[in-house]
Structure 1
Amino acid sequence: MRVILAALLIFSCSSFAGQFKASASTSTSVTLHAYDVVKYKLNMDWYKILSGQSHAFNGRMQITFRPSLDVPLDSIRLDKDPAYLRVDSAFSGGNRLKMDSSSGKLTLVLDIPLSAGDTGKVDLYYHVTDPGVYPSPDSLQKGLYIYYKGAQLTGQYTVPETVAYTMSEPSDARYWMPCYDDPSDKALCAISVRVPTGFVAASNGTLDSTIDNGDNSSTFYWSEDYPIATYLMCATAARFSVVKGTAVIGKKSIPVRYYVYPQDSSKAVNNPVCNIDTVISMMKFFSSIYGPYPFDKYGMTGIEPFYYGGMEHQTITTMNRNYEFDRRDVAHELAHQWWGDMVTLGTWKDIWLNESFATYSEAMQLQHLDEASFENEMNFYAARFFQEDSTQLRYPIYAPPTGYIFGLAEYYKGAWVLHMLRNYVGDTTFFAILNRYRTDYEYRNAVTSDFIDVVDSVTNSDMSWFFDEWIFDQGYPVYTKTFSQSGDTVSVTVSQIQTNAPKFRMPMEIGVYSGGALSPFQVIDSLPGQSFKLYFQEKADSVVLDPYNKILARYPGQSLTEVSGGKGTPAIYTLLQNYPNPF
């Protein structure tokens, strides 16, 4: 997900998407609870809210579930917001169930306890009373957002089109549907939305049917046959124009859709920076390095107001209209279909598994086109991370503190961690790691230790030293150096002078320049101060650390005058203009 701050390997297909269709939940519940959701079937009536008649809507949720423990299950607890979402009644097998909301959650007492292996089903009838229609304060807007065409918002902004949409990450699905709102419990889903005639409702999965109800309304029926987390479920409705394309990946034809405001439809076809053909080419590129696109459809809705750059709802990304044709934002959200949607974080402590992977993916799709653009992008990531780290808060990537779950360390530092891992193990092994990570955890959940186990297995080594310092600890190395030459020996002393951070053990290249020619030497630096003797017969004009910019680090005192031109000249990090930073 992105927010706007003031913002080749051949893969085996034997375990890919097809075998998961129409199956029960395949997730591994990381957060242990008494039951596992198999499927959500949700019906929402948005006719009145989109026609301006009401700020409330009615819904019906059917939840299919099964016990996950070896003890009888006599009740289930669901998440729902106590202020905005009211469950009017609940039934199972035609029997009305007792409900209790005193704990802040909704507890349903089952009429017949379930044993291991049994499957249960409950139907809940509910209504949302106040979804936070503007001009209510933004603090009231949770989960469901509604804006009316012509409304004047902050800063004399005029809403261009009437729109209603859901936005749940990390835990706001409970504001618009009763559910078990935890990313570790993935389930199948079916969502239908009734809207006024002329509106289009987009949601997860494939469009099964659109029914004209004969009362100036239509109902859109969607179903997702692959396991999905609640924060990735969504519905978006506006008077969209639908621009259609097809991505042919292997032997599979995948529908691609741009849901845009009518005035943007030509851009979806012809925008020179990014259009529907660009999206299709990105899908093919990511499929070539990550394995085939994991779902049966990919779409994007371009809307405003939307206070984020984009959100990777499964198969149907929600894009801020200002960035719906921005190549980097589009690539970021598309990459999430593999990393975040197909393989989903197990807990919010593991948010970097979503965001770092998607951020590095947007850089790699630039590398696929132009190496210089890739290098500039990585330098940009470093500069923005350094800025946050020095002016706000220093924290580890794993389990970020409150308020920083979507901090820049999760995006930009994490992307650099993947880049350094790639440099250390090499391209072949790096993409083999991602291949194994996919095949081991596709359509399931993974936590950080799972990814580390994959890395250890593929590399046949213990990589804990790398993850301990870069993921579980905080900061980055700050290197200084001195050098001298005696005969054919260049002596280099490297010091790590960072504070509030560990001393890093990192393979490093030391570059010795002579007459404009660079000679790199590989060393392992792991101490606060460490000396290296390099055999060098020419006269050393200067020495630079990390001449090919492979480490996320700073080098005070290392100036441009110490290096000469040519590909791979060390980067001097500078603060750049703000870009729509990821969230």
Structure 2
Amino acid sequence: MKLQHLVIIFFTLLYSSIFSQTPDNYKPEREKIFDLVHTKLKVDFNFSDKTMNGEAWVTLKPHYYDANKVVLDANTMIISEVKLNEKNLNFTYNDFDLEIVLPKTYTKNQEFTLYIKYLSQPEKVKDRGSKAITDAKGLYFINTDGFDKNKTAQIWTQGETQANSAWFPTIDAPNQKMTQEIEITVPNKYVTLSNGALINQIKKGKNRTDYWKLEKKHAPYLAFIGVGEFEIIKDNYKNIPVDYYVEKEYAPYAKEIFGLTPEMIGFFETKLGVDFPWNKYSQIVVRDYVSGAMENTTAVVHGEQAYQKPGQLIDNNIQENTIAHEIFHHWFGNLVTSESWSNLALNESFANYSEYLWREYKYGKVNAEMHLFDQVEAYKNAQDAKNKSLVRFTYDDREDLFDLVSYNKGGAILHMLRKVVGDKAFFEGLKQYLTKYQYQSAEVHQLRLVFEELTGKDLNWFFNQWFYGAGHPDIQVSYDYNTLRKTVTVNLFQLQAGYFQFPISIDVFEGSKKTRHTVFVDAKDASFTFPYNSQPNLIQINSDNNLICDLNENKILSDYIFQLKHADNFVHRREALLEVVKKQEEKDAFNAVVEALNDESYKIRILALENIDLINKFSKRDAINKIINMANNDKKTLVQASAIGTLGKLIDVELIPIFEKALETKSYSVLGRALVSMYYVDKEKALKKSKTLPDEVRKILATPLTRIFIEEKDDSELPFIAKSVVSGMFLSNDEPTKILFKSAFKQISESNNTEAIQNVVDDMVVKGKQYKGFNFDKVAINLMRNMVNDQKKADKPNREKNIAIIKAAMAKLL
């Protein structure tokens, strides 16, 4: 298929840039010398030593060429036996590669099964993790030494990218596919989970062996085992078991957290036209997890952030997007797997886009627009993201590919592809891709070829610039009006080096009448002329927000006020609101902000509440009454909470009844805002409520309660605050929250309160061990050294005792 001459020149230069890397830096698909066919494991655990006894039967066959030796990945194990047909084999092992000499030369498709007896030593594994996955031990023993009295013992695995070879010998590459059997022996009090079906359970004394079997092929990194004291909450989709493994405390809420799972499976199955390909779907929530979640085939693992109480779930199930994401992986990543980590987009970009698809279906267009905006903004704000292509054949470490380009930008690129080929062709193309490559691995070019064959279109231009190129258009927009001909010419000039080709939608507003034009930009400088009957009130570029781009326009206040009222997409109304709130000293602007309180998007309503100026001369009682009504009745509790926070800024005793009502809410976001707002008008009521809340609620409301107790200088609450300080300082995404907890930490560090000192250093030790991959142990040690200095400066009775506590904690991390 031929491309236009200029496009050929452009992409020839682009390709020469991409592929002019040194051979040492190019990361190819792993060569298939052998095919991994089947893995059978028998495992049991040494809980105190944090090691695992393993036996493996690994079935292999030469991929094409004859071979008489095989190399398996086996990270930091003790290998005691290697056999074939009960005969010992010679092998060499260097802590990473297990090289086995076979007794004869095997030819293509001639299978054989190796027996390997070994000891897995995950605590000795040395392999760098990533920002997405904090380390790569493969097998994790959580509190099996009983160090943390508030946590039960758990064992779980994390295979992606290539860490499963730390707990079983394999060919640890995404282009391999295997079936598997795993026998897991544990004490009777523990529940186990693995891939596929639980075939049987055999008790022997105090122990039990669970036998799990997966009969359909998947990649080695998707193998999983989990062990712990879990309740199993049963659900189903059609005849497919859907189970939720949670700790006892959260069993009553499991279906509130995960209950949309069957509907999600059904929606994706219908949308893709491909049946859910596996025999069960289980989800387990584990402690101290090293990532957000992982799509292990039929045995998805979630971190403990998934645990939420009804008072949180009524506001927003923060795990819902992740639940959809991991389900979609069971088609994109598990059924068809990227052949190399360079092609990670075939896994993660699709899973990311599933979140949009789910929200579009379940909650409507505006909700999906809000989600897409958040995803694209995160990509744009990520350091160096604009310089990275989606498909990367050159990288320093495969873990670095798990970034906001592979996820967020990749999902948005698929949204653009959907627009380019049309809805019908997009989903038909996905169906054909999944069907053609099921239980195999694939690369991005194969996806392109499926779409080209289906649509008859040459899509090289799209895939080359969006999958294999970096960045996005940065567009300068200008307008030329011809009042005699009644036309407007829209000029689009791309400011970045080179240029992109793309379709883009342009809305021309004449009063409330909107005309949408879709044009195709194929040059650095492009112009398009449109007729009008009356002078346009607004011209909205990228009106459907399908294109990933930056727009540079010169608009005045009246343009933004009109845009806030009439723009079709959430993104453009949000942009307009942020400009309009800057000019609230003008009556039209203030009125526009008040009108935005009625916006269909709850995030626009919140943004308007957070920025409305209720002090200026245009603030009328009806605006405040509207906010009071929102505080009482908005259908979204997050908006109610924001309305209460806005009213709280007025410090008006007449609002006490509003805050009192909010103190009885089921919503934790509303309750938290009400406590702070009440504090500034009636401290006694706020403090009484704060101190009488159940402990589990106080823990969830740590941020607003900390704000109150720190301002109140209530030293008696320092032990409570201390339990949340470390998380607030380092794990929060909200800068004001980080500042608040840094202030709280300083107050604790300088205090005489031994219980608070003990609580904060205990938490630092736990998190120092948990986030060692992020070097938080070193951060914690430095913080504790500062605490020692603060205590030395303080002339207080418990100084020496506090210093001894801090130094004892430091010793646990050194």
The two structures have a TM-score, normalised by structure 2, of 0.62
Q: Retained in 1: the 8 A contact 2:432–2:450?
A: yes
The correspondence of residues 319-468 of structure 1 with structure 2, limited to 5 A, is 319-323=302-306, 326-370=319-363, 371-389=365-383, 394-399=387-392, 401-402=395-396, 404-468=400-464
In 2, Cα distance between equivalents of 1:70 and 1:349? 25
Bigger fraction of residues in helix = 2
> Which amino acid is the alignment partner of residue 470 of structure 1?
W
In 1, Cα distance between equivalents of 2:140 and 2:548? 39
Equivalent residue number for residue 31 of structure 1: 30
Please state how far the C-alpha of 1:209 moved relative to its aligned partner.
Answer: 0.6
Deviates more, 1:540-549 or 1:217-226: 540-549
The correspondence of residues 7-26 of structure 1 with structure 2, limited to 5 A, is none
Q: Retained in 1: the 8 A contact 2:370–2:570?
A: no
Please state how far the C-alpha of 1:177 moved relative to its aligned partner.
Answer: 0.9
2:53 alignment partner, SS class: strand
Deviates more, 1:398-407 or 1:421-430: 398-407
1:328-385 C-alpha deviation (Å, 9 max, x unpaired): 1111111111111111110000111111101110111111012211110001111101
Bigger fraction of residues in strand = 1
In 1, Cα distance between equivalents of 2:277 and 2:189? 31
In 2, Cα distance between equivalents of 1:508 and 1:439? 32
In 1, Cα distance between equivalents of 2:519 and 2:105? 64
- Alignment partner of 2:121 out of 129, 138, 143: 129
Equivalent residue number for residue 196 of structure 2: 205
Distance 1:147 1:141, change over 3 A: farther
The correspondence of residues 424-573 of structure 1 with structure 2, limited to 5 A, is 424-486=420-482, 487-499=485-497, 502-557=498-553, 560-561=560-561, 563=563, 565-566=565-566, 568-569=568-569, 571-572=571-572
Do residues 74 (structure 1) and 68 (structure 2) align?
yes
Equivalent residue number for residue 635 of structure 2: none
- Alignment partner of 1:279 out of 257, 261, 269: 261
Please state how far the C-alpha of 1:34 moved relative to its aligned partner.
Answer: 2.1
Distance 1:97 1:431, change over 3 A: same
> Which amino acid is the alignment partner of residue 268 of structure 1?
A
Q: Retained in 1: the 8 A contact 2:137–2:166?
A: yes
- Alignment partner of 1:295 out of 278, 285, 299: 278
Distance 1:529 1:140, change over 3 A: closer
- Alignment partner of 2:178 out of 171, 187, 193: 187
Contiguous gaps of at least 5 residues in structure 2:
1-27, 308-316, 579-602, 604-731, 735-814
> Which amino acid is the alignment partner of residue 42 of structure 2?
N
1:184 alignment partner, SS class: coil
Please state how far the C-alpha of 1:151 moved relative to its aligned partner.
Answer: 5.2
> Which amino acid is the alignment partner of residue 179 of structure 2?
L
> Which amino acid is the alignment partner of residue 78 of structure 1?
L
> Which amino acid is the alignment partner of residue 107 of structure 2?
S
Q: Retained in 2: the 8 A contact 1:132–1:141?
A: no
RMSD of aligned C-alpha atoms? 2.4
In 2, Cα distance between equivalents of 1:518 and 1:140? 53
Report the identity percentage: 24
Q: Retained in 2: the 8 A contact 1:543–1:562?
A: no
1:404 alignment partner, SS class: helix
In 2, Cα distance between equivalents of 1:395 and 1:229? 26
Structure whose alpha-carbon radius of gyration is higher: 2
Equivalent residue number for residue 56 of structure 1: 51
In 2, Cα distance between equivalents of 1:346 and 1:184? 4
The two structures have a TM-score, normalised by structure 1, of 0.85
> Which amino acid is the alignment partner of residue 353 of structure 1?
L
1:485-523 C-alpha deviation (Å, 9 max, x unpaired): 212221121111124xx4110111222222132212221
Please state how far the C-alpha of 1:33 moved relative to its aligned partner.
Answer: 2.5
Distance 1:226 1:364, change over 3 A: same
Q: Retained in 2: the 8 A contact 1:563–1:569?
A: no
Q: Retained in 2: the 8 A contact 1:346–1:446?
A: yes
In 1, Cα distance between equivalents of 2:354 and 2:470? 23
Please state how far the C-alpha of 1:535 moved relative to its aligned partner.
Answer: 2.3
1:368 alignment partner, SS class: helix
By relative contact order (CA 8 Å, sep 6+), the higher-ranking structure is 1
Do residues 162 (structure 1) and 153 (structure 2) align?
yes
Distance 1:209 1:386, change over 3 A: same
In 1, Cα distance between equivalents of 2:230 and 2:566? 49
Equivalent residue number for residue 293 of structure 2: 310
1:179 alignment partner, SS class: coil
Q: Retained in 2: the 8 A contact 1:147–1:159?
A: no
Q: Retained in 2: the 8 A contact 1:548–1:570?
A: no
Q: Retained in 2: the 8 A contact 1:243–1:257?
A: yes
Please state how far the C-alpha of 1:70 moved relative to its aligned partner.
Answer: 3.8
Q: Retained in 1: the 8 A contact 2:122–2:166?
A: no
Equivalent residue number for residue 267 of structure 1: 253
Please state how far the C-alpha of 1:103 moved relative to its aligned partner.
Answer: 9.2
Q: Retained in 2: the 8 A contact 1:150–1:160?
A: no
Q: Retained in 2: the 8 A contact 1:511–1:547?
A: yes
Count of residue correspondences: 525
> Which amino acid is the alignment partner of residue 300 of structure 2?
T
Equivalent residue number for residue 225 of structure 1: 215
